[in-house]
Structure 1
Amino acid sequence: MTFGEKFKALREEKGLTQKNVARELGINSRMITRYENDISHPRTRDAYRRIADYFGVDVNYLLTEDDSFVVRASEQYGARGMKQAQELIDGMSGLFAGGTLSEQDKDAVMKALQDIYWESKARNAQKYAARGNRTEKDSSGI
């Protein structure tokens, strides 16, 4: 069940209109429509938390793993990061769910992603370690 489906079901269970919910959450009623049609999602964990509190559910009920990834990307990298995270999820979902890849190819894609992850993590560690060393040298006057 998607965030939008859960949101709509909770609203309807409580017998609330979109306008009522929008007013209580302090957002535009068009945003409620966008949520319920899975066009938009809250951008921050705090927004998810406010919605969960309003409906009296656990925030984890509203968040899927994909939503959580996109929210983290949004909080860390802004709108561009959120868009890229969503595009990555959509693309990978299409590859894996579309049946166009063999099991062997799916395994190869996953291995390649893991390799990219570990290589980038190592590069970042070196990059930030180098910055730390440079800062120490700069502050010592050498």
Structure 2
Amino acid sequence: MKFGEKVRQARLSRGMTQAELAKAIGVSLRTVVGYENMETYPKKREIYGRLAEVLGVDVNYLLTENEEFIQQAGEKHGRRGRQYAEQLVSEVRGLFAGGTMDDDDLDAVMRAIMEAYWIAKEKNKKYTPKKYRGGEDN
């Protein structure tokens, strides 16, 4: 289950509206809508803590949506791909959970990971035949 789905499910089980959740954790209604629609994630670590506290869930529950990524890596790349994905998730989780980096450094790491993701997506797009691109005009 993805982060946004977990937030929505926990919020509904607590009988809260999106506006009530937003006020409780100190963000805008639009931000909560973005979380639940899986458009955005919290930028600051303390938001995860506030969400977990207000929703009555463990913060690790909100942070772990990597099972799907690992499963897909295994299906696409076999046993070795699954192992690499597990190792990557473990190392990134350790990096963020260690708590020794300041917020600016954490943001820089996150930007680098996102940049690598977009480069890989663009490279995959470049080598995907047009008939498999899902109707894109390129």
TM-score bracket for the superposition, by shorter chain length: 0.5 to 0.7
Report sequence identity in percent. Answer: 34
- Which ranges of structure 2 fall in alignment gaps of 5 or more residues? 67-88, 129-138
On the 8 A contact 1:43/1:75 being kept in 2, the answer is: no
Over 3 Å counting, the alpha-carbon distance change for 1:91 and 1:10 in structure 2 is farther
Letter in 2 for 1:86: M
TM-aligned CA deviation for residue 94 of structure 1: 10
TM-aligned CA deviation for residue 38 of structure 1: 1.4
On the 8 A contact 1:7/1:36 being kept in 2, the answer is: yes
On the 8 A contact 1:3/1:38 being kept in 2, the answer is: yes
Over 3 Å counting, the alpha-carbon distance change for 1:13 and 1:89 in structure 2 is farther
Count of aligned pairs: 96
Give the RMSD, CA atoms, in angstroms: 3.4
Give the distance between the partners of 2:118 and 2:5, measured in 1 at CA: 18
Normalising to structure 2: TM-score of the pair? 0.54
Over 3 Å counting, the alpha-carbon distance change for 1:11 and 1:32 in structure 2 is same
> Per-residue displacement from partner, 1:68-112 (whole Å, max 9, x unpaired)?
9489399353545423323435666999xxxx8xxxxxxxxxxxx
Give the distance between the partners of 1:14 and 1:85, measured in 2 at CA: 34
Letter in 2 for 1:8: R
Over 3 Å counting, the alpha-carbon distance change for 1:16 and 1:91 in structure 2 is farther
Normalising to structure 1: TM-score of the pair? 0.53
- Which ranges of structure 1 fall in alignment gaps of 5 or more residues? 101-142
> Per-residue displacement from partner, 1:13-55 (whole Å, max 9, x unpaired)?
1221111111111110000011111111112322211110111
Aligned residue for 2:75? none
Show structure 1 runs of 4+ deviating over 6 A.
90-95
